[in-house]
Copies of this chain bind each other. A is one copy, B any other.
């Protein structure tokens, strides 16, 4: 499972994507930031703003999500968030409803057992989950 840009690009190539500057920069940006980012953030980021159009970033994210390299998250904002799917690095998030800050939850995710149960009980496939905590952060309180 990929943990650096070259591995990610290899993975993309093996799934049929072409190695373009935009793809490289997008993957680097996501990898470096280590947090979910919106399309607008990504397209406006240092590495991408002079590299390609927002539509290109959009379509790249779309392809990456199709291939299971990136995940699209809700996180309650109007804009969608995107994050890399990295090996064994499932994250839950703690989000301030006032300032919108997003931080990863440090504790291990308590949902895996239930996910397993749902998989067996319901027959749903490709199961994954999204868990977010919302509240007022100490700064905003």
Residues of B within 8 A of A128 (CB): 133-135
- Distance in angstroms between the alpha carbons of A138 and B124 in the assembled complex: 6
Q: Which of A105, A114, A141 has the most CB of B within 10 A?
A: A114
Q: A75-B74, A131-B131 are in contact. Are A118 and B105 (CB under 8 A)?
A: yes
Interface of A is mostly: mixed
| Contact flag A94-B133 (CB < 8 Å), given A72-B76, A110-B111 | no
- Alpha-carbon separation in the docked complex, A13 to B77 (Å): 29
Count of interface residues, chain A, beta-carbon cutoff 8 Å: 36
Q: Which residue of B lies closest to A96 (CB)?
A: B124
The answer to the question of A32 belonging to the interface, with a C-beta cut-off of 8 Å to chain B, is no
Query: Which residues 110-141 of A have a CB within 8 angstroms of B?
Result: 110-111, 113-115, 117-119, 122-138, 141
Interfacial residues, chain A to chain B (CB-CB below 8 A): 72-76, 94, 96-97, 105, 107, 110-111, 113-115, 117-119, 122-138, 141
